[in-house]
Structure 1
Amino acid sequence: MIVVFDAQCLLCNGWVKFLLRHDRKGVFRYASIQGTAGQTLLSQANLKVEGLETLLLIDGPRIWQHTGAIFRVLGALGWPWRLAWIGWLVPVQVRDPLYRLLARNRYRVFGRLDECAMPPADYKVRFLD
């Protein structure tokens, strides 16, 4: 599974650090939207970096966005993170607009890096760019 994320966003970087720490089986690979691999994956999903309001999870032929991507990622981490699947009970018409609101304001609320964050050396092999 590939997680495509914004490497300039502090919230997104925190999410990736969380995943690196809790993905003990090494299920996930990572691609930043600023990198070549990330750009290619976004293009294949018909998404553009400008105005992007989602995390992208690519699982073989399936592509997940917004809260669906988050729940899939947490489910793949196993227990206790799989309990987040209870969030599926909240209608998508409520979940995803709230997610997009946070995504639209992520730089203002959490901050932005001037340059893309570099992956930790011991995890570099899990990053596509």
Structure 2
Amino acid sequence: MKKSAKQTAVVIFDGACNLCDGAVSVITRHDPHKEFELVALQSIQGQALLSQYQLTDVAMDSVVLIKRQQCYLRSDAVIEIAKRLHGAPHLLRYAVLLPRALRNAIYNFIAKHRYRLFGQKAICRLPKR
């Protein structure tokens, strides 16, 4: 994993999911300090990180954020990512005001139906920086 001095976190996302692809585009546009490295879970690097952090069973339905050797899943990952973004996406950090059970129930519903609602790619796009 290539890491610059400014990168402090790795976001592991479903590279075949159109919703996740859109989220990657938002992160790329609103991360002016290039703090996030974006890795598809289908990639060799993604699989290695998931294995290293023992997340292979939970990652298929969750965005994963690894920051300072700590892992964040589901809505916690979204909130932690939003804290570092600029512009409108930064407002997602206020989701922390909702109870975690409610946040994750919403997240899990969307994750479960993401391919049906947003579509799926045959080939995953690797983000360009």
| 1:115 corresponds to 2:115 | no
Following superposition, the deviation at residue 115 of structure 1 comes to: 1.0
RMSD across aligned C-alpha pairs, in angstroms? 1.8
**For the residues of structure 1 that align with 2:93 and 2:40, how far apart are their CA atoms?**
25
**For the residues of structure 2 that align with 1:51 and 1:63, how far apart are their CA atoms?**
11
Q: 1:101 aligns with which of 109, 116, 127?
A: 109
Paired positions, count: 121
For residues 1-129 of structure 1, what are the structure 2 equivalents within 5 Å? 1-48=9-56, 52-78=60-86, 80-120=88-128, 123=129
Alpha carbons of 1:117 and 1:82: their partners in 2 closer, same or farther (altered >3 Å)? closer
TM-score relative to the length of structure 2: 0.85
Following superposition, the deviation at residue 51 of structure 1 comes to: 7.3
**For the residues of structure 2 that align with 1:9 and 1:101, how far apart are their CA atoms?**
15
> Percent identical across equivalent pairs?
31
TM-score relative to the length of structure 1: 0.85
**For the residues of structure 2 that align with 1:33 and 1:98, how far apart are their CA atoms?**
22
Gaps of 5+ in 1: 124-129
Runs of 4+ more than 6 Å apart? none
Cα deviation 1:84-128 (Å, max 9, x = unaligned): 3221111011110110111111111100001111333xx2xxxxx
**Worse-matched range after superposition: 31-40 or 71-80:** 71-80
